[in-house]
Amino acid sequence: MLTSNPVDVGAVVRQRRIDLSMSQTELAEKIGTTRQWMSRFEKGNADVSLSRALAILRELDMTVDLRPRSLKTNTLIPADSLTRINKSIAASLHSAELTAPLREALEANAATLTARLTDTQHQRSAPMHSYED
């Protein structure tokens, strides 16, 4: 999830805390603060030090993504397009006048590239918590 303000960050943290069946008091004690401060943080109203915010995220097993915004696009190629690309490559290889070893090598390379692209798409489509100022 991309967030751009403290209210969003607080809401994500609150939901994660609830998902982990943890009270504000329990989380506050683990990071060395008060329940009242946790309440303000979850509402986006707390003055927050970076070390305390990172302590919360560590405790909740969350991460921060610091890539530039331009690298966070999540454009995926539809699965049916990948299938068409694969079929097109296979058809081109079979129609071309290639020696059997060269055709096999090119087919193996095409399969490897398709697998890498598919893996990359699965990674990019996985839920991500990302926090931006």
Taking the C-alpha atoms of residue 36 and residue 11, their distance in angstroms, rounded to an integer, is 16
Choice among 6-10, 34-38, 111-115 with the minimum mean pLDDT = 111-115
Instruction: State how far the Cα of 12 lies from the Cα of 5, in Å rounded to an integer.
Output: 11
Query: How many other C-beta atoms are found inside a 10 Å radius of the C-beta of residue 12?
Result: 19
Report CA 84 to chain centroid distance, whole Å: 27
Domain 2-62 has CATH 2.60.120.460: no
**Is 127 exposed, middle or buried (CB count within 10 Å of its CB: 0-12, 13-18, 19+)?**
exposed
* Rg (the chain; Cα; Å): 23
pTM (2 d.p.): 0.52
Burial (CB < 10 A; 0-12, 13-18, 19+), residue 38, is buried
pLDDT of residue 26: 96
Would you say residue 133 has pLDDT above 50? no
Cross-strand pairs, 131:
3
- Domain segments of the chain: what residues? 2-62, 71-127
